[in-house]
Copies of this chain bind each other. A is one copy, B any other.
Amino acid sequence: MVQILNSGSNPTSGLGSNRLSSERVRRKNEARRLEILHAAARVFRRRGLAAAGMREIADEADLSPGNLYHYFSGKDEILLFCQDRTLEHMLAAVKAACASKVPVAEQLRAVMSAHVHCMLDELEGATAHLEVEALPEPLRAPIIAKRDAYERAVRALVAQGMKRGEFAAGDASLVTRAMLGAVNWTARWYRPDGARSVTEIARSLSDYLVRGLAAAPSTRSARTAAVSGVRK
């Protein structure tokens, strides 16, 4: 299901050039906006955030550069929406997982899997998710907050599993970041024409990441630090 643009806790409520007009035109306007967002997402994906120009986004959306500003106040706002949508999806996923009654390991796998899908499936401009610093100060704060909420939720899952003894004890915070790093990184190397499907990747990856949490006692021998004697 494609969620409506101005739903939930969207960070910016008043924007663009929308007067309260006929419901008919508002619908059309909203739809056009979504199209533009998808076009922008596509450009972000293939060009990278920085290299994606407004002119190219406009072109991709079959719009004149000037007209683009009729729908969005600027590049920042487009980016904001892309990131917000992605985070919204991820938050929904973690919420859904927590609500289920399966073991924590299973929940975590579900979350990681959803995260991967979020990053790689066509629809979204999830590449933008990786570059939070691109947003100007004022817009950044709400996105950061939302991202932190997501990370906190995942970390809570990890911690819960540790507490229950389902996972080995450890630094939940660190492990969470490791997991998120691994899944976020997929956007960097995934190519649609690759050998593995998104679903396969999601499955294998979440399997691996959760496996590392296993409660089995770590049988690490004395660490030979000498091996990595590369640094000065």
- Interfacial residues, chain A to chain B (CB-CB below 8 A): 1-2, 48, 50-51, 89, 92-93, 96-97, 100, 102, 106-107, 109-111, 113-114, 117-118, 121, 123, 133-134, 170-171, 174-175, 177-186, 188-189, 196, 201, 203-205, 207-209, 211-214, 216, 218, 220-221, 223-224, 227-232
> Known contacts A207-B218, A231-B121: does B109 contact A223 (CB below 8 Å)?
yes
Chain B residues with Cβ under 8 A from A134's Cβ?
50
A212 to B231, CA, bound (A): 26
- Is A227's CB under 8 angstroms from B177's CB? no
A16 to B170, CA, bound (A): 50
- Is B107's CB under 8 angstroms from A227's CB? yes
- Is A97's CB under 8 angstroms from B228's CB? yes
Chain B residues with Cβ under 8 A from A181's Cβ?
181-186, 188
Chain B residues with Cβ under 8 A from A114's Cβ?
228, 230-231
A139 to B171, CA, bound (A): 40
In chain B, what residue has the closest Cβ to A130?
B188
A226 smallest CB distance to B (angstroms): 8
A186 to B181, CA, bound (A): 8
> Known contacts A96-B230, A227-B100: does B106 contact A221 (CB below 8 Å)?
yes
A5 smallest CB distance to B (angstroms): 15
